[in-house]
Each structure stands twice: as structure tokens, then as C-alpha cells.
């Protein structure tokens, strides 16, 4: 199981927790409601407040995931199951991590004499971004000799925490086409020059370089809306510039030619 599997298990577990918890708060489920432990008063950096409103019951959502999503892995208890259980737990912890205290003030003329507060989950994108960072820093592990737990594959690396993601097998090079694993590679794909994202030429081309290609294509132009309800457009001929990623063999040939030219000099 590779790092990609670790990410999938963690974000799937987190997604179920988030959905179940949200349904509890909305009253869509019969056997759960708001967090019953958030009662009485408490204190934060702004001072004292009373628990009120509806705190998201992440505890119930996490318990549901442990009961149903983890059930299959608990029956097997092999190396892969231990890894999946660890990553499932990391996903649940991520949802719990991204909660914020929301408050409403009560008092004369809008003064905040009394605060009623509740814990609310943040948008799931925050959880996803956090788990993506954990995927980037995932730790390679192996099972111990007793077959009862996980240890780091490289002793120089620190032991992963319960919030970290773990994996067994190193991921293949997805830059190169590999039919056996279903990877199409990146050669021939169009990249965006100057982009810092995954669609940028620096990342997508994997250091192989790229070239700019221009084609003349017909495109819709001068579109007008006619009442009601139709949009009519003309067809205009224009130049379309795109940047395909080089094939690996072409990149190697260019490097060989450059090497020969340097030797001749």
C-alpha cells in the first residue's frame, strides 16, 4: 500500500465523520444530536462564556466510523489492516482538529455581557488541505517482528504520530508511462507556463522540458443573445498556442546531442 492509499483512507474516514456529524447537528439522524458534553460554562482568551447553541458532535461521528468503517480491518489485523486503521484514525483526528469556537453576544444595546458559544466544524476543504500536507510528509513503515504493530522503515526517521499518514511501498514514478500500474505518464499533456500549481510546466514536465506549439482553430466569437432564449455566435479563425510536455526519449536525445556538441568544442 502506497502513500496514495494512505491519503484515500484518511480522507474517506474524515469525510464520513464530517457528514455524520453535520447530519447530527441538523437533526437528520434519530440517534444523535448536538454534543451533550458542551454544557455549563467555560473560559477562553476573551474570558468566560456559557455553552449554548449546537456544538457539532464529532465524538459521535468518530464513533460511527470506528464501528463501521474500521470493522473490516479489525477482523484481519495483518500489516495492511494496521496501516489502514492508523490512517483512518488520522482522518478522524483531522476533523476534530479543525473546529472553531463560534459565539453570540447577549446584553443591553448590543453589549457582550454574556456570551453563548458552541464548537463548529470548519469547511471540509480545510481538512482536505491538511491531509494533503500529511500525505506529502507521510512516513514509510513496516510491521514489527511480533506482527502486532508498526515501526519506521528507516531508523533515522522519527516515529509517526497518530495524526501522521503511513505507508508500506514507495510510489512509482508517475512521470513515466507504465501500463502495468495504469500510469499514462505526463508526456504530451498540455501544461501552463509560469503556473506554480500541478498544471505548471515545471511540475508536469518532471524536468524533461517542453515546447510551444501553435495551431489554427475555429472558435465561437461575437456571440449575441436573442430574445428569448437563444445565443447565436459567429465562427472565427484564430491561433491557439499550447505547450505539450516532451517525451522522455526526446528529452534524452536532446541531452545526448548537447553532450556531443560540448565534446566537439
CATH of the domain at 218: 3.30.2460
DSSP letters, 91-143, are HHHHHHHSEEEEEEEESGGG--SEEEEEEEEPPHHHHHHHHHHHHHT-EEEEE
- The average confidence (pLDDT) of the chain is 84
Dist. CA 103–CA 42, nearest whole Å: 12
135 within some domain: yes
Q: Same structural domain for residues 197 and 136?
A: no
Which of these ranges, 53-67, 98-112, 121-135, 171-185, has the smallest mean pLDDT? 171-185
Q: Same structural domain for residues 53 and 123?
A: yes
30 within some domain: yes
177 within some domain: no
Q: Which domain holds residue 227?
A: 190-264
Mean pLDDT for the stretch of residues 210-237 = 83
Helical axes 58-68 vs 3-26, angle rounded to 10°: 130
Decide if pLDDT at 249 tops 50.
Answer: no
Of 133, 167, 201, the one marking the end of a domain is: 167
Q: Same structural domain for residues 19 and 133?
A: yes
Q: All 3 cell numbers of residue 80?
A: 495492511
Of 152, 167, 182, the one marking the end of a domain is: 167
Mean pLDDT for the stretch of residues 243-259 = 54
Give the pLDDT confidence of 91-148 residue by residue, as tens digits.
999 999 999 999 988 877 667 788 899 999 999 999 999 999 999 999 999 888 777 7
Q: Which stretches of the chain are DSSP H helices?
A: 3-26, 58-68, 71-76, 79-97, 124-136, 201-204, 248-264
Of 167, 199, 229, the one marking the end of a domain is: 167
Decide if pLDDT at 11 tops 90.
Answer: yes
The confidence score (pLDDT) of residue 170 equals 84
175 within some domain: no
- Of 132, 131, 17, the closest CA to residue 70 belongs to 17
Q: Same structural domain for residues 157 and 203?
A: no
Dist. CA 114–CA 126, nearest whole Å: 30
pTM above 0.85, yes or no: no
The confidence score (pLDDT) of residue 256 equals 55
172 within some domain: no
Q: Same structural domain for residues 123 and 252?
A: no
Give the pLDDT confidence of 13-28 residue by residue, as tens digits.
999 999 999 999 999 9
Q: Same structural domain for residues 12 and 85?
A: yes
C-alpha separations of 62 from 30, 59, 66, 90, 220 in Å? 17, 5, 6, 11, 51
Q: Same structural domain for residues 155 and 217?
A: no
178 within some domain: no
Q: Same structural domain for residues 109 and 57?
A: yes
Dist. CA 34–CA 57, nearest whole Å: 5
Q: What is the DSSP letter of 210?
A: B
Domain count, the chain: 2
Q: Same structural domain for residues 203 and 256?
A: yes
118 within some domain: yes
Dist. CA 236–CA 212, nearest whole Å: 22
Q: Same structural domain for residues 120 and 213?
A: no
- 235 forms beta bridges with 220
107 within some domain: yes
Q: Same structural domain for residues 86 and 159?
A: yes
- Whether 234 and 221 have beta carbons less than 8 Å apart is answered as yes
- Whether 169 and 3 have beta carbons less than 8 Å apart is answered as no
β 230-244/213-226 pair status:
antiparallel
Q: Same structural domain for residues 115 and 209?
A: no
Amino acid at each position: 500500500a502506497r502513500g496514495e492509499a494512505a491519503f484515500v483512507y484518511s480522507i474517506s474516514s474524515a469525510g464520513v465523520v464530517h457528514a455524520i456529524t453535520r447530519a447530527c447537528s441538523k437533526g437528520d439522524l434519530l440517534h444523535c444530536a448536538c454534543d451533550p458534553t458542551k454544557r455549563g460554562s467555560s473560559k477562553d482568551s476573551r474570558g468566560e462564556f456559557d455553552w449554548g447553541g449546537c456544538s457539532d458532535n464529532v465524538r459521535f461521528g468518530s464513533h460511527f466510523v470506528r464501528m463501521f468503517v474500521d470493522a473490516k480491518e479489525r477482523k484481519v489485523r495483518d500489516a495492511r489492516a494496521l496501516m489502514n486503521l492508523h490512517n483512518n484514525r488520522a482522518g478522524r483526528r483531522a476533523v476534530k482538529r479543525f473546529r472553531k469556537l463560534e459565539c453570540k453576544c447577549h446584553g443591553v444595546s448590543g453589549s457582550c455581557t454574556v456570551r453563548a458559544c458552541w464548537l463548529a466544524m470548519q469547511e471540509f476543504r480545510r481538512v482536505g488541505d491538511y491531509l494533503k500536507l500529511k500525505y506529502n510528509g507521510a512516513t514509510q513503515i513496516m510491521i514489527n517482528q511480533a506482527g502486532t504493530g508498526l515501526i519506521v522503515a528507516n531508523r533515522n526517521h522519527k516515529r509517526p504520530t497518530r495524526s501522521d499518514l503511513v505507508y508500506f511501498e514507495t510510489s512509482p514514478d508517475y512521470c513515466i508511462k507504465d501500463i502495468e500500474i495504469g500510469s499514462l505518464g505526463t508526456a504530451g499533456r498540455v501544461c501552463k507556463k509560469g503556473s506554480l500549481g500541478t498544471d505548471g510546466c515545471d511540475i508536469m514536465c518532471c524536468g524533461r522540458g517542453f515546447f510551444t506549439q501553435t495551431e489554427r482553430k475555429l472558435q465561437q466569437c461575437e456571440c449575441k443573445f436573442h430574445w428569448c432564449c437563444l445565443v447565436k455566435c459567429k465562427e472565427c479563425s484564430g491561433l491557439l498556442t499550447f505547450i505539450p510536455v516532451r517525451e522522455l526519449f526526446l528529452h534524452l536525445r536532446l541531452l545526448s546531442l548537447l553532450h556531443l556538441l560540448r565534446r566537439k568544442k
